[in-house]
DNA sequence: CTCATACTACATACTATAGTTAGCATATTA
DNA sequence: TAATATGCTAACTATAGTATGTAGTATGAG
């Protein structure tokens, strides 16, 4: 599993959730996913599927496009940090 | 499984692949995924994971952001067709 | 402060299903 | 018609999805 990718994805989800000021449990309700599963995703412990990305985006009331826009930006930032340390 | 979502995703992948003028097999090589798996994804038979979305995007040399931008647009089109038939 | 409440982390464990491959059928095209 | 590309079935194995329970942490009211 690509842990780095999942972790970055988790960070994005946390960011959006905090923005909406809701708990993992509340996000679970809204996206029809279990409370602990949300936690796992946020900690980057699971390689989420397309269907659940869609559910999360609906629960967070943001488009998948926006999620991946942020994710791509985050990945680029990480890449640059990595390259600087070569 | 959300078949509609997977099918729409598959259509996007086909679109990008044809744009690059490569076969499923070639895309398989480039993204490090099996030929038949690419076929399944394009036919919307599998609920793909984030990791493999990432692999595909690299094999197709496009950003995930762009994939989901197109996917969101396609979903909106499908929604409108659905609403018109109410 | 301190107690209660809400929130999150984490460790299992189970069951669904994604990921992977082989093989053969069926187009498609040169 | 030979070569190339795709569809599809079937099987296996890896792991995502789901849930319970417990422990720890943060926060706010009294």
Per run of 10 residues, the mean pLDDT along chain B (length 86 residues) is 94 97 97 97 97 98 97 88 74
Question: What does the pLDDT read at residue A78?
Answer: 80
pLDDT at B77: 85
- Report if CB A43 to strand D is under 7 Å: no
* Structure confidence at residue B78 (pLDDT): 80
What is the number of domains present in chain A?
Answer: 1
Q: Which domain holds residue B77?
A: 3-84
Quote the radius of gyration of chain B (alpha carbons, Å).
Answer: 13
Residue A82 has pLDDT above 80, yes or no: no
pLDDT of residue B86: 67
Look up the CATH number of the domain holding residue A50: 1.10.260.40
B50 to each of A5, A71, A86, how far by Cα in Å? 8, 11, 28
Inter-axis angle of helices A3-20 and A64-84, to 10 degrees?
130
> A1 CB near a chain B CB, below 8 Å?
yes
Minimum-distance CB partner of A49 among B48, B63, B72: B48
pLDDT of residue B81: 79
User: With a 7 Å cutoff on the CB, does B25 touch strand D?
Assistant: yes
């Amino acid at each position: 599993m690509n842990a780095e990718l999942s972790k970055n994805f988790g960070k994005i989800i946390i960011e959006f959730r905090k923005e909406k000021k809701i708990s993992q449990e509340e996000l679970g309700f809204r996206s029809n996913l279990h409370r602990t599963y949300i936690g796992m995703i946020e900690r980057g412990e699971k390689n989420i599927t397309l269907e659940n990305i869609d559910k999360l985006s609906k629960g967070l009331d943001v488009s998948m496009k926006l999620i991946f826009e942020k994710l791509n930006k985050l990945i680029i930032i990480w890449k640059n940090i990595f390259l600087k340390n070569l």
